[in-house]
Amino acid sequence: MSELYKLDPKGNVTSPKSFIAGGTYAGLKTLAESKLDLGLLRSEVKCSSAGVFTKNKIRSHSVTLSEKNLKKGPIQGIVVNSGIANACVGDQGMIDAEECVNVAATHMKLLPDELVICSTGIIGVELPVDLIRKGITEIDLSNDGGDRLAEAILTTDTKTKQASITFELDNKKVTIGGIAKGAGMIHPNMATMLAFITTDAAISEKDITSCLRKAVDVSFNMISVDGDTSTNDSVIMLANGTSKVKDIDFTTSNGNSFQQALNQLCIYLAKEIVGDAEGAQKCIEVKIEGCSSAEDARSIARTIISSTLVKTAIHGSDPNWGRILAAVGRSGISIDENKITLNINGVCMFENGIPVPFHKEGAIGAMNKQDVNIHIKFNNGKFTATAWGSDLSEEYVTFNSMYTT
């Protein structure tokens, strides 16, 4: 996807008008007080809202409560903790989630039903509600507090992931801002990740869910690090309308412009997650062209980017293109092998069903770069898709073999 709008990598969820946020150290994941682990986000006016959550059948109580509150009506605030997942802890998990929401609602002068709660961290550990209760009351919300919130949601991440895009609709400025976290257990259909998206555009309750889902389908659902999906994945979007642009009609050019900007922002955040993957040394992009449907193209791209054999070959700069075609073949999509052309970093290795002779040392040299691009043409239609992932390294295995020890 070409970048249609200028993106500000220093922007975040408080870049749009009338959003305030903050973060603090509550002692949830480390004794180092410089490591923030608790945050709040609030719109100063009523919002329309939407959420997309993990497909894992084992789910955090925080996810369950957030889905419940989103169904009741518009959300105006978020409370989030890192370090503890609030999953697999029995009924106490819901009791704790509700208590955290109640405390945050009081602090932000909202109703509990107007908040969602997000958690990320170790499974099987109860939320330390006393620490969270105290921490919430210490959070100062401000219109430049998005940086602290972006830091508070991190776990094994080595850096914050944040950005904003500002553009014009009807001669008025509109801003979309976002933050995300994720470094391991990343897989399509929601990775081990949290993402919060805010905008000062006005979007109806009817449209905001479909708008968010479209963006997630081409971004967060097109990344893979290790093939796992966590218990806590959540993407929340809030739109407060303070830009004074009338409700966006998604059947018009304004709607198309907003969707493209949202897609671009979410793709940027998704790629930031991949670039910060645990133990990753290379970033992989899989671009699929010429499929008979968009879903076919996405399925093939996701299958390739999720393949352990492909990831390890990329890690070792091994031009073993057969692993890529094997992944294509098990994607479940009907294909014609004799129409396929495959390139890795510009080196053609397979064309129209026949292997292409190439200089192996040259191909290895091309794959030694940090960015590895796999480009496959199927010559069977007009639909395309792109997926992103990382290689699978010895460091990743070592890190995850002692995660809680």
The three state secondary structure string of 100-147 is HHHHHHHHHCCCHHHEEEEEEEECCCCCCHHHHHHHHHCCCCECCCHH
Residue-level pLDDT at 226: 56
- State which fold the 283-400 domain adopts: Ubiquitin-like (UB roll) (3.10.20)
Token pair for residue 112? 């509990």
- State which fold the 7-275 domain adopts: L-amino peptidase D-ALA esterase/amidase (3.60.70)
pLDDT tens column, 181-219: 986 544 555 545 899 999 999 999 999 999 999 999 999
Burial 373-392 (b: 16+ CB within 10 A, else e): bbbbbbebeebbbbbbbbbb
Residue-level pLDDT at 1: 47
Three-state SS at 373: strand
Residue 392 pLDDT level (bands cut at 50, 70, 90): confident
106 catalytically annotated: no
* Rounded mean pLDDT, 22-50: 93
* Rounded mean pLDDT, 263-274: 94
Domain ranges of the chain: 7-275, 283-400
Residue 34 pLDDT level (bands cut at 50, 70, 90): confident
Token pair for residue 269? 């955040």
Whether 221 has a pLDDT exceeding 70, the answer reads yes
Whether 278 has a pLDDT exceeding 90, the answer reads no
pLDDT tens column, 222-244: 998 755 667 899 999 999 999 99
* Rounded mean pLDDT, 386-401: 79
Pick the catalytic residue from 192, 229, 242, 341: 192
| Mean of pLDDT over the chain | 92
Alpha helix (H) residue ranges in 138-293: 146-152, 205-217, 253-275
Please give the order of strands across the beta sheet that includes 354-355: 223-224, 383-390, 283-291, 371-377, 341-344, 347-351, 354-355
Whether 393 has a pLDDT exceeding 90, the answer reads no
pLDDT tens column, 47-99: 999 999 988 889 999 999 999 999 998 999 999 999 999 999 999 999 999 99
